Amino acid sequence: MKFTPTASLFFSVREQRIVPVACAMICSALIAGCGIGDSVNKITKSVDKVTETIEDATNKASDIAGDTVATLDEGIDALERNSASWQSVLQQMTKQLTDDAQSTVRNEISALLNRSVAATGTELRCDLDFIGARVHQGLVRIRAHLLNQPLPPLEPALCHVVPPAVDMALDTSRRNKVEIFGYDFDTTPIKVKLHDQSQTKDVSSHLNVLTHYHMMLNLGGNGVPVTKTSHQLTLEWENEPISSIAVIQPATPVCQEKLHTVPPSAKLSFTPPHVQGNKDFSGKGPEVWANARWTHDGKSVKLRLWMKAQQTDPALPSDPFKLTEALKEIQKGLTKAEGVREEIYFTAPTGWRIERIEGNTESSAHYIDSDHNEDRQGAGPNGPAKEFVFRGDHKGNDAGSYTGVDVHFNPLVVKLVEVADCAPASAIRSLKDIGQLSTTTIKRLNPTLMKLQLHKIP
């Protein structure tokens, strides 16, 4: 039997108590000099009783640990299918983890729920799919910690910067701070660099982390020394830029922008690994889920493909001999294949960055296989997948070798913005909307903005 760390600790403490107690009882019996046989029998029964108690406690601890991992797996699977349902998924998980021994994991999930709810305020503009992806990442980390596995890196994420650029033509009292909203700002340091014509200066000391989802960069008299030669502020994590804030000077131009269409790539085939059961679905399903998702980090678009195929609950035979075999198979676990494939789908050309992905970024499919034929599930013209082509059950072993999916793609449309000493049009429009753009700058940049609007670049 495999003992959990909790169970092992419990066993060692109890074991240390048994030995001295047993020795004392034996010595007492020997000193008494009579009725030694009866005393030994009583000692043996006492030791057996204590041993049974330890085994029961160990089995219970092992069962609780198994139930906890199963609950985490169910939550992770639910978010793979629909990341926007993160709030109801977390609430249901906390209700399932009721045992005292599960309190640590339950508290971690409650904290994850509270952090996620806090990050959905209207000022943050983090969409539900984004929050769902972060919650999924959080559950994976909780599960890894519980099983003493390496923790995946936790990268902070930005949702909204106010203002998105700094207009130097404004009075200093109107451009004395930048507020940054997002996720996991308290888990790892974020650096801020000020870029001038001739140098780059670390100004991270002026960045204040107010909450895990809110930071403020001080641009006042005792803050970042922005001057007439400054052209950009960048936020960095592990020496990689994760966001930039343009500093608009009297001659700063508007960045070029364009919509770029990436033709559909060749189909992508994926066979998820076998993770449970005997590899043969045996005509019982499988029930199949798949999700394809595009994400971007400014430099590239990544494709994340998840698939799960699980044997449906078998009908129990009436023949008692066959019933025994069927129950043995159920105890081994229903056959299951599940896995994720991730790869770079598109890389921005040199001198350009990806500002956003146009249209839907996620496609899903779900069905129950009922034969040995390939099954086509159309996903529509929006989103990564145009069509999923599944292989579920066939004669012989399935999971890990045959069961899989081919994904046929839709065109990918991205908005590209020039990387140079310039201000993005989207940032300028936003500044204008919130009253953070001077009349002088508006007059100078309006012709370029009008030209972009004529070209229907949003």
Q: What is the pLDDT of residues 265-280, one digit of tens each?
A: 889 999 999 999 999 9
> Which pTM does this prediction carry?
0.73
Structure tokens at 237: 């994590």
Q: Inter-axis angle of helices 36-81 and 128-146, to 10 degrees?
A: 160
| pLDDT tens-digit series, residues 53-112 | 555 544 444 566 778 888 998 999 888 888 888 999 999 999 988 877 678 899 999 989
Q: Give the whole-angstrom CA distance, residue 232 versus residue 224.
A: 12
The tokens for 296 are: 């971007």
Please, which residues have CB within 8 angstroms of residue 228's CB and are 6 or more apart in sequence?
168, 249
Residue 41 has a pLDDT of: 65
- Model confidence at 380, in pLDDT bands (50, 70, 90)? confident
Query: What is the signed CA dihedral for 163, 165, 171, 173, rounded to 10 degrees?
Result: 40
- pLDDT tens across 115-153, in order? 888 777 645 557 666 788 889 889 999 999 988 989 877
Residue with the larger pLDDT of the pair 27 and 330: 330
User: What distance in Å separates the CA atoms of residue 450 and residue 432, rounded to the nearest whole number?
Assistant: 14
Higher pLDDT, 116 or 353: 353
Least confident of 27-36, 225-234, 351-360: 27-36
For the beta carbon of residue 264, count every other beta carbon within 10 angstroms: 12
Using 50, 70 and 90 to split pLDDT, how confident is the model at 321? low
Report domain extents, the chain.
5-146, 157-254+420-454, 269-344+361-405
Q: What pLDDT, on the 0 to 100 scale, is given for residue 306?
A: 95
Please say whether the dihedral angle defined by the alpha carbons of residues 72, 82, 416 and 450, taken in this order, is positive or negative.
Answer: negative
- What fold characterizes domain 157-254+420-454? Immunoglobulin-like (2.60.40)
**How is residue 307 written in tokens?**
């698939």
- Mean pLDDT value of segment 237-249: 91
- Name residues whose C-beta falls within 8 Å of residue 321's C-beta, 6 or more positions apart in sequence: none
pLDDT band at 412 (very low <50, low <70, confident <90, very high): very high
Please give the full DSSP string across 32-54, using - where no structure is assigned.
H-S-HHHHHHHHHHHHHHHHHHH
Residue type, 281: F
Q: Which tokens go with 330? A: 């159920």
String of DSSP letters for 63-101 = HHHHHHHHHHHHHHHHHHH-GGGHHHHHHHHHHH--SGG
Confidence of residue 330 (pLDDT cuts 50, 70, 90): low
Looking at this protein, which amino acid is placed at residue 397? N
